[in-house]
Amino acid sequence: MWVHRSGEFYTERPIVIYEYQKGRNHELPLAFYQDYEGILVTDGLSQYHLVEKKLPGLINANCWAHARRDYADAIKIADKSNPDAVRRSIAYQALSRISQIYKLEGALKDLSAEERLRERQNTIKPLVEEYFAWVKTQLENTAVPPKGKTAEGLKYSINQEKYLKVFLTDGNVPIDNSASERAIRTFCIGKKNWMFHDSIMGAQASAIIYSISETATVSNDGSQYTEGTRVNWATFAKDILVVKQMWNFAKSGGHLKDDAGLEHRQWISNQITAALNVCNTADIIVISAGTNDSNGRYGTYADAMAKNTLEELDRTKLYEALRWEMWTLRKAYPEALCFATTPIQRADREADNAVNTAIKEMARRYNFIVIDAENESGIIRENEVWQGEGVYLIDGLHPNTAGSMRLAEYYSAVISTYLN
């Protein structure tokens, strides 16, 4: 099954087309794109490079998400007992360089194509050139095992250099083809329920149905979140879970307690209030916060439960804030499947058991399912760098793209076990 999708930045009439073909040779995309002139963003398969050579009006661009995969795989199998060695590794350094490129690119999402191109030329292009110069130096001077994942990542970048740089020439071209990857995921998840199509006509019919449903999804998918939201794990989880509509009220620095020292938009109580004003119904609810609440003023479970009304609860105390949040959500959405996550590890602080205990105790009271991000997400304190780029945290505290995707995968796996 092949998937073709309009560009990620083209939002006026986006389209997703599924196409069944019996093979994967280059003649198939050549036939599909024979009258197309423009840029085609793909992974690094040689079939697409052949298409570019045979169609003068077509330019092939490659995906940076694929460029980082071998490095990420190398880190996964590295010996985590020596975090300093991991951080000194070539794979780790490569991921850090690519993360910096993604960090700058992420800030350009809402710009016009012209503005995005200008910013890419000014800020991202120098990092891209530095990355490729660095890769060539590693291949020339470093004793990297020739058949390991790190070497594969280095060689992939060199082989695809021309194509990985195309996004720097056009503001309408995304840095990767993740939009297409997300579009195919619906079909891949569905495959778990069957093994074969009985006939070619059945496969073609399936392609038509998926084309219609996925085009409808990208045309009106609830992704126009309210002002102040940020790309985070929920953005990726939406696609993993195949959610038709999602409201993301998260703000950077989300705080379970109402802390006068923070902006009010960071109070989860205000985020919940915003949700109540917009969403009449909800099927799945997730409360997720960082470790900002590890600064005292916890109160006690007994004191929180002694209050008789929502108005009596003192939201500057952790237990009472949690009770207000879970009570309010459960009252508004009594049938919803509700989750609360414990904070992930951060580089400068051991886990605060008082926060985790408060979350777990109040979750039991209001039938929230606890997702243990601290111990089970795979984001480990020793692998991160305070105020520096770590494996999954961009500054020792906030998840980078890899961290957000890792949280999304873990949270989605837990949530999926409770879905029918």
Given this model, what pLDDT does residue 163 score? 95
d(CA 375, CA 137): 38
Q: Where are the domains of the chain?
A: 2-179, 223-416
CA 299 distance to own-chain centroid? 34
Confidence of residue 247 (pLDDT cuts 50, 70, 90): confident
Contact 10, 39 (CB under 8 A): no
* Residues whose CB falls within 8 Å of the CB of residue 121, separated by 6 or more in sequence, listed in order: 168
Q: Is the pLDDT of residue 264 over 70?
A: yes
Dihedral angle computed from the Cα positions of residues 259, 265, 266 and 269, in that order, rounded to the nearest 10 degrees: 70
Contact 324, 270 (CB under 8 A): no
Between 357 and 230, residue with greater pLDDT: 357
From first CA to last CA, the distance across the chain in angstroms is: 26
Lowest mean pLDDT among 52-56, 97-101, 183-187, 306-310: 183-187
Q: How many of the other CB atoms lie within 10 Å of CB of 151? A: 19
CA 25 distance to own-chain centroid? 31
Given this model, what pLDDT does residue 186 score? 64
Given this model, what pLDDT does residue 224 score? 44
| Cα torsion 343, 333, 303, 318: sign | positive
Given this model, what pLDDT does residue 48 score? 87
Q: Is the pLDDT of residue 117 over 90?
A: yes
Q: Is the pLDDT of residue 130 over 70?
A: yes
Give whole-number Cα distances, 415 to 123, 212, 361, 376, 411, in Å. 39, 27, 20, 14, 6
Q: Name residue, tokens 């979140």.
A: 225
d(CA 282, CA 277): 12
Confidence of residue 114 (pLDDT cuts 50, 70, 90): very high
> How does pLDDT run across 9-22, given as a tens digit for each residue?
887 788 889 988 88
Q: Is the pLDDT of residue 397 over 90?
A: no
d(CA 122, CA 214): 36
Contact 411, 341 (CB under 8 A): yes
Confidence of residue 211 (pLDDT cuts 50, 70, 90): confident
Q: Is the pLDDT of residue 394 over 90?
A: no
Give whole-number Cα distances, 142 to 67, 71, 116, 150, 157, in Å. 19, 16, 35, 11, 16
Given this model, what pLDDT does residue 420 score? 62
Confidence of residue 196 (pLDDT cuts 50, 70, 90): low
How large is the average pLDDT for residues 239-268?
79
Contact 218, 183 (CB under 8 A): yes
d(CA 7, CA 174): 7
Q: Is the pLDDT of residue 129 over 80?
A: yes
Q: Is the pLDDT of residue 269 over 80?
A: yes
Between 57 and 261, residue with greater pLDDT: 57
Contact 1, 207 (CB under 8 A): yes
Domain 223-416 fold is: Rossmann fold (3.40.50)
CA nearest neighbour of 381 among 372, 392, 366 = 392
pLDDT above 70 as % of the chain: 92
Given this model, what pLDDT does residue 191 score? 57
Percent of the chain as helix, strand, coil, to the nearest 5: 50, 10, 40
* Mean pLDDT of the chain, nearest integer: 84
Given this model, what pLDDT does residue 77 score? 79
Q: Is the pLDDT of residue 407 over 60?
A: yes
Q: How many of the other CB atoms lie within 10 Å of CB of 319? A: 26
Across 76-90, 301-315, 388-402, the highest mean pLDDT is recorded for 301-315
> How does pLDDT run across 50-61, given as a tens digit for each residue?
889 999 899 999
Confidence of residue 254 (pLDDT cuts 50, 70, 90): confident
Given this model, what pLDDT does residue 223 score? 41
How large is the average pLDDT for residues 230-259?
78
Q: Name residue, tokens 């951080």.
A: 87
Between 319 and 231, residue with greater pLDDT: 319
Residues counted in the chain: 420
User: 186-192: long-range contacts at Cβ-Cβ below 8 A with a sequence spacing of 24 or more?
Assistant: 186/210, 186/213, 186/214, 186/217, 186/242, 187/1, 187/3, 187/18, 189/242
Q: Is the pLDDT of residue 106 over 90?
A: no
Half-sphere exposure of 317 (CA within 13 A, CB side): 15
How large is the average pLDDT for residues 126-150?
89
Give the residues across from 371 on adjacent strands.
341
Between 345 and 157, residue with greater pLDDT: 157
Lowest mean pLDDT among 30-39, 52-61, 75-84, 225-234: 225-234
Q: Is the pLDDT of residue 193 over 60?
A: no
In the numeric block, which tokens belong to residue 171? 């503001």
Q: Is the pLDDT of residue 29 over 90?
A: no
How large is the average pLDDT for residues 247-266?
78
Given this model, what pLDDT does residue 46 score? 83
d(CA 258, CA 275): 17
Given this model, what pLDDT does residue 404 score? 85
Q: Is the pLDDT of residue 229 over 50?
A: no
Given this model, what pLDDT does residue 334 score? 92
Q: Is the pLDDT of residue 148 over 90?
A: no
Is 4 strand, coil or helix?
Answer: strand
